[in-house]
Structure 1
C-alpha cells in the first residue's frame, strides 16, 4: 500500500475574521475549503494559520509535509522571516509548494522567484476564462479546454516573475486582459506551482474544476524517491593515478 501524500494547507485566515461576506462564502475558512477535496482524494491533510505559534509551521510540521499550500493576502508583512527561511529551506530540500492567488506577493514566493512578482489587478465581478495551454500536463488531467468562472478578480500582465519552466493555464478576463495563471518552477529539489484564481469574496474554491487542479497540483508537486544530491568535498569514485 503506497504512502499517503502529506499536505499542509496554510492560510493567513484574516479576511474570515474581518469580513462577513467572506465568512458567508467560507464559513470554516479558506483553508478548510481547500483541505476538503484533498482529504476526499485520499491525502492526509492538516491546516495551519498565521495566528498559531510559529504560524503553525514548526520544523516538525514542515519535515512531515510533502506539499505546502499557501494562501495569503493582507498580512504578508506579518509572516516571520524565520518561518519564511524555514519554508525556503524545505522547498530547496524537496518539499512541494503551491502558491494560490494573492500569495504571489507572499515573502516566500518572492524569495523563491527573486523578482517583485507585481501585476495589474481589478475587482469588477468579471468573467474569467482559464484556457489550458499545456493539455498533456498532469496538473490539468481530466479537464476540458477551459474553465469558466462567472466572477473573479482580474490579474493582468505584465506579471513580474521569472520565465516559467512550464506554462499550463492562461486566463482571459471580460475586461480584455490576459494572465499567466498556471505556472511551474523548480527550486533546488522542490517543485512549485503558482495558480491564480481564488479571490476571497468569490466561491472559486468550491468549484469542482478548480479543486481538481489543486488536487492534481499536489500530486505533481509531491516529492519523488530519486537520489538525494551530495555536496561538499567528496572522495573520488575511481582511483586517481599519480601524475609524474
Structure 2
C-alpha cells in the first residue's frame, strides 16, 4: 500500500478554480448565494487551518485534561449550534441539550477507547478528538431535525395536545405522538445511509483511511465501528434531548414555559 500522498498548497489553490462553476451558475440564474458562499468558504478555510495547527499541537501534547477540556468545548459549541437553529432560548435549553450530547458521547468514547481500539494511552488525542468530532457532527444534524420537527408538530397540532391533557394525560404522554414523529424524522437519514453504505456510497472515514495507506479491510472495520457508534449516539442523544427539553419547556400541568404554540 502507498503511504499518504501530500497535496501541495499551490495544487489546492489551482483546484479551487473549479469554484468558478457554482459561482457562474449563481450569476446566470441569479440565485443570490455568492456572498454567503464567499463568507462560508473563507470561514471554512481559516477554521480548518487553525484547527489543523491546533490538532498538531494537541496530538503532540496528548494530555488527558487538555483532551477532556477540548471535548467539553466541542459539546458546548455543538449545543449552541443546535439551540440556535430551533429559535428557542439558549439559556433555557442549553443544559438539557448539552446533557443529552454528553450522555451519548462520553460513554461511547470510553467504550471505544478501552475495549475496541485500545490506543496507548487510552485518551490518545489522535483517536479521541476525530472520533468525537464524527459522533458530534452527525448528532448535531439529528438533534436539530428532531427539535424542529417536534416543535413544528406541536404548534400545528396544539389542539390535539390540549385535548390529550384535558383527558388526564401527562405532558410526556400527551406529547408522545409528536416525539415519535420527531424521532422518525431525525433517524430516517441515518437509516437510509446505513442501508446504502458500501453499495452506493463509500463513507468519508473509510475513504480517508484508504487514501492514507490503510488496508481496505482495516478501513472497513473502522467504518463499521464508527457507523454503529454514530447510530447509537444519535439514538441516545435525540431521545434524551427530547425528554429533557419537554421537561424544561412544559410545566407539570402541560403549560408552555417558552413560546411553543
Q: TM-score normalised by the shorter chain: which range applies? A: under 0.3
When Rg is computed on C-alpha atoms for both structures, the one with the higher figure is 2
Higher RCO (CA < 8 A, seq sep 6+): 2
